[in-house]
Amino acid sequence: MIRLKHWWAIWLCVGSLAAQAHAQALSESTEHSPAPPAFGVLDQSGFFNRNPGALKRISEQIRKLEQKHGYRLFLVLEPVLIATSAPERASELRQAWVPDGNGLVVVFESDSRNLGIGRDMTSDQSRTANASRVPSYETTSILTRAMEAVDSKLSSDLDIESFMIQLTSGFEAYFKRRETPPPAERSMKIGLLVVGTLSLLGLGAIGVGGLVRHSGMAGVRRFRFPVVDRPERLGAPCGGNVTSRRFAPPAPRS
């Protein structure tokens, strides 16, 4: 038992040291991260040198999204990543640039055509915490639709532009849908659906109660007269008793 406790203490020390090392490495990588680009796009590989119009259109859509809804979107184009990968780099930049979770970072490695998405998956998604937050399931749906709308290889600047435009349009549609109140017909349909569901539940409860009551009645004790082994007498199958009375003769008349 003592040895087991010693092993637990050793494992706890090793786990705490590993966690501290990971946190220190993450903080160091965040400290060495570049400043967030003012126009939403950081093109260190010169990917858009031949198409500056695409770079301008992407920047305009990103700035409109942040100005209207406070959601921050960044695109980083790297020529090649040696000590890290595109998803890891995107995660590091997201923690440095969007610590509140109201945005995401897209990192594209032009040499390998790898794409990384840095997004918040752990913190609170409630509106009270930050009105610019987007739920994780909505972000996944928007990213999926954007990837399906373009070539998965993203081999050209037109593919990158189309992906980013689809991404900004998806978030814009989400915020617009969230800010628009549902129509009256939809509210009435939802109300009728709720009433119907409650009615079905009530009928089900009545049916279950009837079955339970029926099963309870089936268990009522029944009593029967015992079989008596007596010979039949005077037509009575279980015997009988005979009672006789005598009457005095009438008195003579005088």
Q: What is the mean pLDDT of the chain?
A: 77
What are the backbone dihedrals phi and psi of residue 66, each rounded to the nearest 5 degrees, phi first? -70, -40
**Looking at the predicted structure, is the pLDDT value of residue 201 above 90?**
no
Question: Which has the minimum average pLDDT: 26-30, 32-36, 168-172, 202-206?
Answer: 26-30
**Looking at the predicted structure, is the pLDDT value of residue 20 above 70?**
no
pLDDT in tens, 63-84: 999 999 999 999 999 988 988 9
**Residue 7 — pLDDT band, cuts 50, 70, 90?**
very low
**Residue 124 — pLDDT band, cuts 50, 70, 90?**
low
Distance of alpha carbon 95 from alpha carbon 122, whole angstroms: 12
Decide: 118 and 90 in contact? Cβ < 8 Å.
yes
**Residue 141 — pLDDT band, cuts 50, 70, 90?**
very high
**Residue 149 — pLDDT band, cuts 50, 70, 90?**
confident
Place of tokens 């010979």: 231
Residue 164: closest CA among 41, 249, 82: 41
Which range scores top for mean pLDDT: 102-116, 144-158, 194-208? 102-116
**Looking at the predicted structure, is the pLDDT value of residue 53 above 80?**
yes
**Looking at the predicted structure, is the pLDDT value of residue 90 above 60?**
yes
SS3 210: helix
Residues β-bridged to residue 103: 72
SS3 65: helix
Question: What pLDDT is attached to residue 18?
Answer: 44
Terminal C-alpha separation, the chain: 123
**Residue 47 — pLDDT band, cuts 50, 70, 90?**
confident
**pTM for the full model?**
0.60
